[in-house]
Amino acid sequence: MTNNEEGTRPDLRSAHWFGPHDLTGFVHRTAIQAEGFSGFAVKDRPVVGIANSWSELVNCNIHFRLLADAVKRGVLMAGGLPLEFPTMSLGESLMKPSAMQFRNLMAMDTEESIRSYPLDAIVLLGGCDKTVPAQLMGAASADVPTIMLTGGPQEPAVFRGKQLGVGTDTWKYADELRAGKMTQADFDELEASAKPTAGHCSEMGTASTMTSLVEALGMCLPSTAAIPAVHARRAQAAEATGRRAVEMALTGGPKPSEILTPEAFDNAITLLMAVGGSTNAVVHLLALARRVGYELQLDRFHEISERTPRIVNVRPSGEYLVQQLFNSGGISAVLKELSPLLHRDVLTVTGESLEAGYANAPDPDGDVITTLDKPFDATGSIAVVRGSLAPKGAVIKRSAASPELLQHRGPAVVFDDIYDLGRRIDDPELDISEDSVLVLRNSGPAGAPGMPEWGMLPIPEKLLKRGIRDVVRISDARMSGTAFGTTVLHVAPEAAVGGPLAIVQDGDPIVLDVATQRLDLDIPQEEIERRLAEVKLPERKYNRGYGRLYVDHVLQADEGCDFDFLQGIPGEEPQRLPYGLMSGWQGGW
Ligand code: FES
């Protein structure tokens, strides 16, 4: 079977590779035929790329080969050619110093793989925390029609008859162990039960938050975000995603730039606040918006948080796990209840409005999902604070904080970096009380580098033994979406670039007032200016390779920690070279 110009749909992007009846078309078609496909496979047929973040280093995405097979089945049923390709994969648990340091690298990998190959539509397979924003960012910049299939939450772990949120409850049991209230043997048993199946973390941590936001943004099929990883309906959703990808390829859209509008970001932020979602989503949405040329601001999160009640009862802000949320109607049911607060007519990957996707979802059950007029919290989960300690802002997850600490004045106990913290946090001589404010610096995007999830500083052992489980903590780091406590995060600018966190000294009074959005170093302004003028910036941590690229170009948390050269409108398609100018006959297209 041969292919030729007349036999190929000229409106398909892949036709530029496979259509021409010349030597380069020959080369491209033989590359496919070398894999055992016939020429028929690319004749008049859309090619759907499946960007797979499967990896044995990423347990959360370990079922993605099965999901990719189901996507392929759907693509073939609809008459397309599925071609799976690997992307970098970012595992939250094993990757050091922080998976966040490599989010932009995975985004670049995804973007350039999409752009440089003959693909008419893309299915993104992401799950673990950073894989989803990285793939979305890359796809947004490539701007080829894209639909996402997320991996789903793992089955809940059970320990001593109680369901565990793998992150949230591990932090709590770790404190119990340090306080001497749990034996090491019990803790070892917890370790063996903590992660029972494939899939991402089972509470509303960063992964579940991001996969939920994918649905609110309109980048996946409706009602798919919360389906458990090992549930048959997830494979069914994968098959349906493959079928829809072929339709998107044939109609040339919608493209990410048509879906990721300012209104879509408003919808995603509204959902973020209503589910008690992860603070990490703030950084990822800021970065994603800038990929499509929308200068989303931190203050927009606060504005939407103020008008959005929390209506979902899932850990760490609530009681249940995402599996129970799925059983209660999933994200579609939450969006339906939030409908008065949403831009309902925005376009989604279905080609229809967001509202059309959730219209048939069940009503709130009043337990896992409640109604807007009887919320679990009157306002959204995340607040933005600013002041002399954070001139460009910081965030706090107020729904997972101690209410009595949301307005607080106390003396600073300062740790210069994570190593200093490790050395001294449990020192019996540490001068600290429940009124103290723990400060960790040099843990931001450029300083750590990679802005790791160090923001939930451990409570010092001497306070744990007195029964104290929370104090105010402030840092330029992030915090796991499964974590909790009165933790002010993402302080910008960070200490390593000369932000005010660099000048805090032990004993300085710090004022946090979430109601008035203030975070201040309560010392005279002249003293602040004097100390800032004397700040010595730390030495750059990397001098070569990706680390060097990262520290030289990463933006601050209030801009999403993307690279400065990756923001903006979609990149350019590769150019078809005239035959005579090709450097090698394989090189043109
Ligand atoms: Fe992958 Fe939590 S470790 S989602």
Q: How far is the CA of 455 from the centre of ligand 1 (A)?
A: 17
Pocket test for ligand 1, best of 200, 209, 479 (most atoms within 8 A of CB): 200
Q: Give the residue whose CA is nearest to atom 1 of ligand 1.
A: 128
CA distances from 84 to 27, 68, 119, 120, 544 (A): 20, 8, 11, 13, 32
The two three-digit tokens of residue 387, written as one number: 């002041």
Q: Which residues contact 373 (CB under 8 A, 6 or more apart)?
A: none
Q: State the distance from the centre of ligand 1 to the C-alpha of 231, rounded, in angstroms.
A: 18
Beta-ladder partners of 512: 408, 519
CB 291, CB 179: distance < 8 Å: no
Q: Are 438 and 474 a contacting pair, CB within 8 Å?
A: yes
Report the pocket of ligand 1 as residue ranges, CB < 6 Å: 60, 92-93, 128-129, 200-201, 205, 207
Is the distance from CB of 71 to CB of 82 less than 8 angstroms? yes
Closest ligand 1 atom to residue 167 Cα is: 2
Ligand 1 atom nearest to 60, measured from its CA: 1
Quote the distance between the C-alpha of residue 445 and its chain's center: 15
The closest-lying atom of ligand 1 relative to the alpha carbon of residue 205 is 2
Q: Tell me the CA–centroid distance for residue 251 and ligand 1, in Å.
A: 35
Which positions ≥6 away from 41 have C-beta within 8 Å? 32, 81
CATH class assigned to 45-155+197-358: alpha beta
CATH architecture of 382-533: 3-Layer(bba) Sandwich (3.50)
Q: Please give the radius of gyration of the chain, using alpha carbons only, rounded to the nearest integer.
A: 25
CA-proximal residue: ligand 1, atom 2 (nearest): 201
Q: Which residues lie below 8 Å from residue 552, measured CB to CB, with a gap of 6+?
A: none
Q: Is 287 within 8 Å of 140 (Cβ atoms)?
A: no
| Alpha-carbon gap, residue 473 to 9, rounded angstroms | 59
415: which strand partners? 440
Q: State the virtual CA torsion across 253, 257, 261, 266 in degrees, nearest 10.
A: 90
pTM: 0.95
Domains of the chain by residue range:
1-41, 45-155+197-358, 159-193, 382-533
Is the separation of the CB atoms in 60 and 199 below 8 Å?
Answer: yes
Q: Whose CA is nearest to atom 3 of ligand 1?
A: 92
- Encode the chain (589 residues) as per-residue pLDDT tens digits: 334 444 456 589 999 899 888 888 899 999 999 999 998 898 889 999 999 999 999 999 999 999 999 999 999 999 999 999 999 999 999 999 899 999 999 999 999 999 999 999 999 999 999 999 999 999 999 999 999 999 999 999 988 888 887 777 887 888 888 888 889 998 988 888 889 999 999 999 999 999 999 999 999 999 999 999 999 999 999 999 999 999 999 999 999 999 999 999 999 999 999 999 999 999 999 999 999 999 999 999 999 999 999 999 999 889 999 999 999 999 999 999 999 999 999 999 999 999 999 999 999 999 999 999 999 999 999 999 999 999 999 999 998 899 999 999 999 999 999 999 999 999 999 999 999 999 999 999 999 999 999 999 999 999 998 999 999 999 999 998 888 899 999 999 999 999 999 999 999 999 999 999 999 999 999 999 999 999 999 888 888 999 999 999 999 999 999 999 999 876 677 665 554 444 344 444 4
- Integer Cα distance of 363 and 136 in angstroms: 30
CB 78, CB 46: distance < 8 Å: no
Select from 128, 280, 478 the residue to mutate for testing ligand 1; criterion: most ligand atoms less than 8 Å from CB.
128
Counting atoms of ligand 1 from 1, which one is nearest the CA of 58? 1
Which atom of ligand 1 is found nearest the CA of 91? 1
Asked if 214 and 150 count as a contact pair (C-beta separation under 8 A), the reply is: yes
Q: If you measure from the C-alpha of residue 47 to the centroid of ligand 1, how many angstroms do you get, rounded to a whole number?
A: 31
Instruction: Give 184 Cα–ligand 1 centroid separation in angstroms.
Output: 24
Residues listed for the chain: 589
Q: From the CA of 127, give the closest atom in ligand 1.
A: 4
Q: How far is CA 556 from CA 309, 527, 542, 550, in A?
A: 29, 25, 18, 12
Cα separations (Å) of 394 from 290, 386, 532, 556? 19, 6, 19, 11
